[in-house]
Structure 1
Amino acid sequence: MPASTPDPAPQRSLWRDRDYVAWLAADTSWQFGASIRAFATLLITYAVTGSYAQAGAVSTVSTIVSAVAMLPGGVLVDRWDRRVSLTVSGLARALVYGAATLTWWTGAMTIGVLYAVGVASGLIAGLFSTASDAALKSVVPTRDLPRAIAANQGRDAAVSLSASPVSGVLMGLSYALPFAAAALGSLLQVIGTRFIRADLRPAREPAATSAHARRAFLRELGAGFSVYRDIPVLARMLPALILVNCGVNALFVGVQLILQGQGVEPWRIGLLDTAIGAGMLAGSVFAPRLIRRVPTGRLCVTLFVGCAAVLMPLSFVQDLPLALIVLALLGIMMPALNGAMGGYFQALIPNRLQGRALSAMQLIQQTLPALMPAAVGLGLQYLGAGPTMLATAILFPAAAVLVLTHRELRALPTPDRWSIGDQQAPEPLPDRDPAAGAGTVGA
């Protein structure tokens, strides 16, 4: 792969970048609330219904709705000012989770309400989940994306360390409180977004006449998939990512439900997230140096195979101490892996396609993994823990083989030598008609 000329300008600390700090605060607020709510929902559903199958089904329905909404959501994120998308999604989440809070406090919580909350949260996630990541490329320079994503992994670690145990404690007080925390986090996202000064509007594309607007929208729905045609390294990685995501989803849901069925307290089950968060926090300390010094391909292949290997024991033994060790080791490797691989993938995607390409990527990666909670719930209900969890054992070796044989991925150099087309010449954003509102579709 041809090397691009390194940028000689010194890199400044991300923490001195006011826009990045504001973006991180806004993104962290809703992520923290969402993590509290997500952990509680699985256990609340089981407590309300007493059914493993129903607990898994609510999660699967929410994810499927999210997947269906992702492609039109990517089009909206690439048309609207991304500041508007972040604001609208925050207000919508606050409304949904605020309503769920009141439903529990009034004694009206049923399985139907839980399905409704799952569908609504999935719809919001599908329409707007890529808005924050798409905005990041406007907040930091392209060369800083790997560092920013690695730093975000440290943030994710802090969220994982605290969100699930906090959720368990809140559930001990009232099952309504995790929903209230999610509503508060969503409102804080709206406030934090207002402090981002960067222009978050996507680059305009030629306007379509009203007669061709529908066909233009349909073309835009599929535009995100074009990156997989134009960037083969992305297409080659997808099968491996799908296999690992399926395995991780199945293991995580399975271990949580098995432990709850054994009567383990929610706060102790929450330690699963704490373990992976502690590992990520430790790994995020070394991730920037590894990303900078180790060729991206060598780093990604080594860590990806390592992640697949450490997850294997949970397919055979679902024991809380073992799960804590396995997830901590996984967390240590994740910041460098996601920072290097995610930074390279996102840097390759043009700014005008960020929303659609990220939506397409999430849709492809999540479609099969979305079925895992329901499949695991049914398996636990009718087959038992042993056969259900053993079925995941074939996924991780298969993913490792796909990555090890990926020659183009193995050849990627360090970030300062990436050959990125729009890194050298960012796309200009035309002036917008002052009369147009902030939420006007770019034309």
Structure 2
Amino acid sequence: MAPGTSLWRNPNYRTFLGIQTLSAVGDSFSYVAIPLLVLQVTGSLVQMGIVTGLTGVASITTGLFAGVVVDRFDRRTLLMICDGARCVLYGAVAVVFLVAEPSWLIYLVVPLAGVFSMIFQVTYVAVVPAIVAADQITRANGHLYATYAVASVAGPALAGMVAAAFGPAAAIGLDAVTFAVAAVGVLFIRLAAGRPDAARPAVAGAGNVRNEFLAGARFLWNHPLLRQLTLLLSLLTFLTYGLTDAVIFRLKDELGQPDTVVGYVLTAGTVGTFVASFVVARVRGRLGFGPSWIGAFSLAGLAVAGMGLARSVPALAVLMAVMLLGTGVAGICSMSLRQEITPGHLLGRVTAAFWTIHSALGPLGAGAITAVAAGVGVTPVLLAVGTAMVAIALSGAFSSIGRAGATPAVERALEGARS
């Protein structure tokens, strides 16, 4: 599509939005149903953290080769394979739990699904610049976040109701159906002929996975803004990876709320994501990347600390929305910047390297946060995590992130990367 053309006149973009919505519905069901299923089978917050941590380890390990796969093979086919595989895996859980409750199946299926989820996410990021014009990337990412939010508003609430009425396994079964429909929908996507991302990219040094992965890592390291952004996000990921488990445990165990309330609180949180998707293009355009990213994560940290002080379910729901508003704005800005800076033939590897590196501490964080919360309570943990998030975000003001305070500064960074 030519620059300035409306995104809604692009049929491939509209189809891609629909597919992403279905995948988001599936993700929202997993977001609620899997922790509830672990809690039903084991009754342990620590076991919830272990499953989350194992999924993170699987995703990080996949990141070692996901970028190479995305840059080597047809990206449309990869999207279809990833959705189809998750359909089969989650469908197996739903079927088996009709007759038994083998906890080992959860530990097997959920991390394996994380493998395909990681490949899907890297492919999705690499596909966006092949569908929309360069000046539409931030706005398109905002729309994609909006569809995620719309799907997620009803998803967690519905998952909570299904789990309360029929059990978490039934909610996971519906999750499998959404992935099946999304896999079929990928067949209708067409990437523009002649675009560098539409064809299978040529890979330098093909045959050496280590060198191909390091190509993405080297690009991150050699770019000061991306290097510092990756470092700070690694620390933030360590702190936030296990937050959902902690909030669910607090609602269920400390406040004695049923599964439906858990779904409602998480649904309310997605309202923040929805708002972020609409304001991010204006915020970044007016403030620039640095202030947008620093301010958004500072706001998220204050909300997390507030959840440690909140004593009512409505207050927790509002603060959850504020937290996701902040992380949503920061996440869209970060992803759009990488898509703008990175050459198309490297985008899969740079995306995979970025996610692998900055997520490496996530599983450790999930285990640590849930273990400490089980011992001393969720309240002090949320206060400590929120305070640390604000401190880390504000430290970005003293790095290249803070100096990227105006749009011209970002443009100079883009121009330097291209040269």
Taking structure 2 as the reference length, the TM-score comes to: 0.89
**Are positions 1:118 and 2:110 aligned together?**
yes
Offset, 1:264: 0.9
Q: Aligned partners of 1:300, 1:391: CA distance in 2, in Å?
A: 21
Instruction: Please name the residue that 1:204 is paired with.
Output: 202
Change in Cα spacing, 1:360 to 1:417, as seen in structure 2 (3 Å) is closer
Q: Give ranges in structure 2 of 5+ residues lacking alignment.
A: 193-197
Change in Cα spacing, 1:271 to 1:240, as seen in structure 2 (3 Å) is farther
Instruction: Please name the residue that 1:238 is paired with.
Output: 230
State the Cα deviation string for residues 76-132 of structure 1 (Å, max 9, x = none). 111001011111111111111111110111x22221111111122122223443111
Matched to 2:171, the amino acid is P
Offset, 1:394: 4.3
Offset, 1:407: 4.1
Matched to 2:251, the amino acid is L
More helix per residue: 1 or 2?
Answer: 2
Matched to 1:205, the amino acid is V
Change in Cα spacing, 1:410 to 1:311, as seen in structure 2 (3 Å) is farther
Instruction: Please name the residue that 2:313 is paired with.
Output: 320
Instruction: Please name the residue that 2:140 is paired with.
Output: 148
Matches within 5 A, 1:412-427: 412-414=405-407, 418-419=411-412, 420=414
Secondary structure of residue in 1 paired with 2:241: helix
Instruction: Please name the residue that 1:289 is paired with.
Output: 282
Offset, 1:161: 1.3
Instruction: Please name the residue that 2:195 is paired with.
Output: none
**Contact map agreement 1:308 1:396 (CA 8 A) in 2:** yes
Change in Cα spacing, 1:401 to 1:290, as seen in structure 2 (3 Å) is closer
Offset, 1:70: 1.2
Q: Aligned partners of 2:126, 2:404: CA distance in 1, in Å?
A: 27
Which of 63, 79, 92 lines up with 2:85 in the alignment? Answer: 92
Matched to 1:341, the amino acid is S
**Contact map agreement 2:305 2:384 (CA 8 A) in 1:** no
Change in Cα spacing, 1:97 to 1:337, as seen in structure 2 (3 Å) is same
**Are positions 1:378 and 2:371 aligned together?**
yes
Matches within 5 A, 1:400-419: 400-414=393-407, 418-419=411-412
Structure exhibiting the larger radius of gyration computed from Cα positions: 1
Q: Aligned partners of 1:412, 1:203: CA distance in 2, in Å?
A: 34
**Contact map agreement 1:53 1:377 (CA 8 A) in 2:** yes
Q: Aligned partners of 1:373, 1:157: CA distance in 2, in Å?
A: 24
Instruction: Please name the residue that 1:431 is paired with.
Output: none
Offset, 1:316: 4.3
Instruction: Please name the residue that 2:344 is paired with.
Output: 351
Secondary structure of residue in 1 paired with 2:188: coil
Change in Cα spacing, 1:417 to 1:16, as seen in structure 2 (3 Å) is farther
The RMSD of aligned alpha carbons is 2.6
**Contact map agreement 2:67 2:352 (CA 8 A) in 1:** yes
Which of 46, 57, 61 lines up with 2:54 in the alignment? Answer: 61
**Contact map agreement 2:295 2:393 (CA 8 A) in 1:** no
How many residues align? The count is 410
Matched to 1:131, the amino acid is T
Offset, 1:386: 4.4
Q: Aligned partners of 2:259, 2:295: CA distance in 1, in Å?
A: 35
Secondary structure of residue in 2 paired with 1:26: helix
